Chains A and B, each alone.
Chain A
Amino acid sequence: MAETNNKDTSTLTADEIKLYDRQIRLWGLEAQTRMRHSRILVLNLTSIGVEVVKNLMLAGIGSLTLCDSSILTEEDLNGNFFVDASQVGQLKVDAAFDRIQDLNNRVKFSVLKESLPLGGKLSTSNTAVQANIDPETLKHYQNYDLVIATGLNRQQLSQLNQITRNLQIPLYASGGHGLYAYLFVDLINHESKIQLDSNSNSTKSKVGILNSVSEITNVEKTGKDEELKIVSTLKNSYRTIDEVFKSNKLSEFYKSEKKLRKITPVLPLILSLFDYSASDVAGKDQGLDPVVLKSKAEVIAKDLKLPESWKIDENVVGELARQAFCEFQPVSAIIGGALCQDVINALGQREIPINNFVVLDTVKNDMPIFTL
């Protein structure tokens, strides 16, 4: 994490070790201990938010604060197993509170029923200069170790990202559009200690720059011959969401024009959908105008330096335009599961977390990770 939490040294109780036995075996005692000490803020109980909250409660984090000011509607019932039909009309967080807490009483679970301020106006400059953020706004966020936001539009996410950068807090953001979804990760700077095979000849076993976003800063070798253990420290640096929209990194990871041409149209299309928030299209059953969506995506494709030969697939445009603001629970389960798995990887510092944008296409069961 960007800031190491000094309380991490206190250990888990025997009861906790027993309760979390299976997952400790998977990600280790250290990760479980760090998890127990993390305070996580989740913004919006969308369908993905529901999955995220469930996974984090089960994983055994220290405290979880859920912020949502919206009222539960009939449509929410499909994607939210914390509530039932009798609760329509209540505040979502009130309706879901008991069932969430019941998942794990060891987690300090609390809710915020009013939207948190995002402060200031959207910075229009392309540079990542910190906007002047009201100190009062920062106060709302400063007591968390991690922020997870779902269902935000571009402006909201951009503002939130400025806040989390200002406070040096890692940020995860996710949203779903029918059979498609995305995951954005900003860990600012992150270090993981990765174990390599003793016979590994990979570039990761030597100190040096791997690519424009990651480098090996340290290599420790212990033992020899068959017992040789190599632990490398891998440092990952991240970009803000504003930088993602202007990224020129695709050609670094997709080295030939042929590979670039094959990049899924879902990437620019889903980025185009950041312009809308769910409330913009509330009640519009038909979704969006595909022509408008396509032209937005073409602008983004240009910004991302996709080659001239890259062509957008009209079918995918149509599907995404139509499904733009549907929530589909299985899709939320996948992207919410991936999000939480990455949170655990980031906290555990043994696996390399995602850097930095995942696209999920469940029509093709395709889930590429882009470095933008």
Chain B
Amino acid sequence: MPGRRSLFVLMALAFGFAFLYLPILAMIVYSFNASRLVTVWDSANSPTLMWYAELFRNAPVLDSARLSFRIATVNATGAVILGTLAAFALERYRRFRGRALFGLLTTAPMVLPEVITGLSLLLLFVALEQAIGWPGGRGATTITIAHITFSMAYVIVVIQARLATVDRSLEEAAMDLGARPWKVFFVITLPLIMPAIASGWVLAFILSWDDLVITSFVSGPSSTTLPQLVFSKVRLGVSPDINALATILVLIVTACVVAAGVYMVRLEKRRARDAQTAFDAAT
């Protein structure tokens, strides 16, 4: 019976969403709670924006936010540039020596435990500093480099998948018409994989924005990212302003995801519309 089945599907859906989003919802609701005690709802003075207001007066929070944003942006850009090059090499030059190994190595950070990635990067930075005097101490630079190494793996997967769908004969046609290989890349390949590059960028941004484990290994005393700040505050006891801060973090990630989603839907719609025009023109 379709009625019963759809009811079952609805319930499964509701349960699934509840499981995923109830904790976050609770956190968001409590961020508007006026009481200083996290678990007590002060119905007299709630909801209130006092914790949000407090956040924006809190210098360490603002500093961390700025740092996290800067690292995430630089990381996303770097990961996309390197990831595109690697994906291109993997997808287009299928016959180079050591291709399988290269492919495995670039995607390994996805499956390696973060603790291991973080630790090995820390060891590398320390060794490098002793050997060539760079990087001088740990901070924003080392965090960014560390983030690039692991988020690049995800970017490669996204871009390589897209690259595989780009018809090789398009690149050949461009070459046939007189474009040299590097020109073919910039004028033909790059525009065609732009959607993947955009989603790769957003993905890398979020990965960096969220990361705590690897960051803790390679950050220095003067560089505390937002997740680190939240974590250290929670260890001293949960205070309501954390809820507000976490809510903002979640909002930013959501905004990224929604923006990427809308962009994709719009691309898809435009394709469909253009295809319709073509159909009308043909008939």
Are A and B genuine complex partners? no
On B, residues with C-beta under 8 Å from A are none
On A, residues with C-beta under 8 Å from B are none
